[in-house]
């Protein structure tokens, strides 16, 4: 799929779940060896990082859309709480995932899929 598709999907999900309030960041697709998606942001240890999302290409469009929403939840937590609060999957992130409609145990390896359409 073209890159424009995922940029548009970011906008669509941003409008649906955050009323368009999330800062627009680029979304890239590439093969990720041991991850479904990754969210990068500036931090004390990597101040020159750009905010961007990477999605693995070895999934269906439905799976990749859900992973995008997962990574956007990370972006939301970073934007609202900053780097001092941010780490992989804190309670506030899990609460946001629940608000987005993800169900079941939300861990690093679960919550890949939602029960309803994204």
| CA distances from residue 113 to 36, 42, 60, 85, 105 in whole angstroms, order as listed | 12, 27, 11, 26, 11
CATH code for residues 3-100: 3.30.2010.10
Domains of the chain by residue range: 3-100
- Please identify every stretch of the chain with a pLDDT value under 70, giving residue numbers as ranges: 1, 44, 83-87, 104-118
Question: What whole-number distance in Å separates Cα of residue 73 and Cα of residue 14?
Answer: 10
For residue 28, the surrounding DSSP H or E stretch is strand 27-30
Output the pTM of the full model: 0.84
In this predicted structure, what is the pLDDT of residue 103? 75
């Amino acid at each position: 799929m073209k890159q424009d598709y995922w940029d548009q999907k970011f906008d669509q999900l941003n409008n649906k779940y955050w009323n368009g309030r999330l800062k627009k960041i680029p979304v890239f697709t590439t093969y990720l060896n041991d991850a479904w998606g990754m969210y990068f942001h500036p931090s004390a240890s990597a101040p020159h990082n750009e905010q961007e999302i990477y999605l693995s290409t070895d999934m269906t469009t439905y799976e990749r859309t859900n992973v995008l929403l997962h990574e956007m939840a990370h972006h939301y937590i970073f934007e609202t709480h900053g780097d001092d609060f941010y780490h992989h999957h804190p309670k506030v992130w899990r609460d946001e995932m629940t608000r987005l409609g993800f169900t079941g145990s939300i861990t690093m390896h679960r919550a890949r899929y939602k029960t309803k359409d994204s």
